[in-house]
Amino acid sequence: HNNLCSMHNHESNYTKSINHCKKSISIITELHGNNHEDLIDPFQNIGVALQSKANYFESIEYFQKALSIELNNQKRDRKIADLYHNLGVSFSELDKFSEASIYFLKSIKIKEKIFENDKRKYPQLSLATSYSSLGVIYGKIGEHDLAIEYNQKALNIRKIHARDSFDLALVRSQTNLAYQYIFFKNDHKKCLSLLNEIKDPVTTKYGLLIPEVQNIYAAFSLCEQYANNYKKAEEYALQALEIAKK
C-alpha cells in the first residue's frame, strides 16, 4: 500500500494516495505498534498528499510523527533533512514564517553537511530547493538581502546541474531573482542583466508560448518601468499579454 501511496503522489492523485497511506499505516500499526520505523515513509507520504491538498495542519502532524520515529531509530540524514523541509513548506503555507525558517535552516544545515562529506563535486538539487524556499521566506518578512543571497545560492546550484541546457527550473529561479533585485534593491540594471542572460536561449529552445517566457517578458516590462523606459516597458507588457492569450 505504501508503494501505491508514493506512486499516486507522483501522479498527483492525492486522494488515492491518502487512502493507500492510511491502509499502510493501519496494517503496520496493527503488526508493530505506533512507533515502528516502517511507519516513517507512509507518514511522510500522507503528509505530502495532505500538503498538496492544502491540509497543512494535518500534514504537519504526520511529518512530525515521521520525524520523531526517524530521530529515535535510523537517524538518516537525508530523510531528516527532507522531513525538515516538508515541515518548512507547510508552516510557510500557513504564514508561520518564523517556524518555517527554522525548519528550512535545519534542512539546509544537514544538506550542506551531506555535500561536504560527499565525493561528488556539486551539491544536490534538493539543497537548491531549500535555499530557494528560505529565500522566499526572507523576502516575505522583509529580510531582502538574505532573500537575494539564498535565491542566488539556489540559482548557482541549478546552473551547475543545468550546465548550458537552460532547464525551466533554472529559468524560473533566475527570473524570480530578477524580480527581487527590482523590488528589493530597485536595481533595474541587475534585473535586466539577469533577464537578458536567459531570454534568447530560452526562446530558442522552447519557443515563445510557455509561461516561463511570458514571465520573463513581464519581468522585463517591470524593469524597464523602474528605469523610466516606459515605451520599452509597454512593448514587453504587450508581448507578455500576447503570449498569455495564446
Long-range contacts of 54-58 (CB under 8 A, 24+ apart): 54/93, 56/90, 56/91, 56/93, 56/94, 57/90, 57/94
Rounded mean pLDDT of 122-137?
91
Confidence class for position 30, pLDDT limits 50, 70, 90: very high
Cα(14)–Cα(55) distance, integer angstroms: 11
The pTM for the full model equals 0.89
What are the C-alpha distances in Å from 133 to residues 12, 87, 100, 172, 211? Answer: 21, 12, 9, 13, 21
| pLDDT single digits (tens) 76-129 | 999 999 999 999 999 999 999 999 999 999 999 999 999 888 766 667 889 999
Angle at 193 between CA 190 and CA 198, to 5 degrees: 135
Grouping H, G, I as helix, E, B as strand and the rest as coil, residue 141 is coil
Q: Which has the closest alpha carbon to 214: 175, 167, 159? A: 175
Kind plus residue range of the DSSP H or E element containing 70? helix 56-71
Residue 239 pLDDT > 90: yes
Query: In the chain, what is the straight-line distance between the N-terminal and C-terminal CA atoms, in Å?
Result: 42
Confidence class for position 153, pLDDT limits 50, 70, 90: very high
Q: Contact 133/107 with Cβ under 8 angstroms? A: no
Mean pLDDT across the chain, nearest whole number?
A: 92
Residue 29 pLDDT > 90: yes
Confidence class for position 191, pLDDT limits 50, 70, 90: very high
Instruction: Give the model's pLDDT for residue 119.
Output: 66
Instruction: Give the model's pLDDT for residue 122.
Output: 67
Rounded mean pLDDT of 17-29?
92
Cα(132)–Cα(87) distance, integer angstroms: 15
